[in-house]
Amino acid sequence: MIDPNDGPLLVASHNVGKIWEFRELLEPLGFDVTSAKDQNLDDPEETGTSFEANAEIKALTAMRATGVASLSDDSGLVVEALGGEPGIYSARWGGPERDFAMAMRNVEEKLQAAGATTPDKRQARFVAVLCLARPSGKTHLFRGEVAGTIVWPPRGTLGFGYDPIFLPGGQDRTFGEMMSLEKHAWKPGQPTALSHRARAFQKFARDALGVE
């Protein structure tokens, strides 16, 4: 278990959108939240070959630099017709500037080239893996996924990353058309979150905080 009274929890990210979402999830549970961006930490090189490995690299790097319990996220878009790409390289498809307008165009161009023009051929998953690194050096992993379909053109200006082209299953709006609190769609006592990150966070809350 991790206790909010033990001190701050560091979100091991420089991504403003991710930090914002984690603050919305963590602060109601009593955590004082800081981030790698707030602490001016360098981004570690993500050399892992899975979401789990890269999440662990980020959490351990932040924890070792600060001595503070750190929570990281490694997430991405997995498109079936593209053999699972962009996957762990989702951010890199936007180039050095992390230009997700370019990244989304790249996904669409590759789908068109593969002949994936109908919804049944445009199935995808958003995956998020959280890693909690304790000051002891012990790590804990929590995985969340949500299935959906890639749409084009992008819809909505909310969220970040690939949200405007991802239509979650059973919904009529993309993540780019939803407020972050709606994507979370979870609080203690409610059964299932909507987004991949919130689903991973549910597992973190249950296993690391004892919150059902």
Domain region containing 147: 4-209
pLDDT of residue 189: 58
Q: Are 20 and 73 in contact (CB under 8 A)?
A: no
pLDDT of residue 18: 84
Euclidean distance between CA atoms 145 and 75, whole angstroms: 10
- Which of the residues in the chain have pLDDT under 50? none
Instruction: Give the active site residue among 3, 38, 74, 120.
Output: 74
Statement: the pTM of the whole predicted model exceeds 0.85? yes
- Any idea what the CATH number is for the domain that residue 36 is in? 3.90.950.10
pLDDT of residue 207: 86
pLDDT of residue 186: 62
Euclidean distance between CA atoms 93 and 106, whole angstroms: 7
Longest dimension (CA), the chain: 54
Euclidean distance between CA atoms 122 and 152, whole angstroms: 10
Q: Is 73 a catalytic residue?
A: no
> Which residues are bridge partners to 125 per DSSP?
78, 147
Cα separations in angstroms, 6 against 52, 67, 68, 204: 26, 12, 10, 17
pLDDT of residue 185: 66
Cα separations in angstroms, 91 against 5, 11, 42, 97, 148: 34, 18, 17, 9, 19
Number of domains present in the structure of the chain: 1
Euclidean distance between CA atoms 51 and 169, whole angstroms: 22
Sorted by sequence, the CB contacts under 8 Å of residue 137 that are 6+ apart come out as 60, 63
pLDDT of residue 187: 60
Please state the φ and ψ torsions of residue 72, each to the nearest 5 degrees.
-115, 165
pLDDT of residue 206: 85
The per-residue pLDDT for range 189-206, each reduced to its tens digit, is 556 788 999 899 889 988
pLDDT of residue 191: 62
pLDDT of residue 174: 97
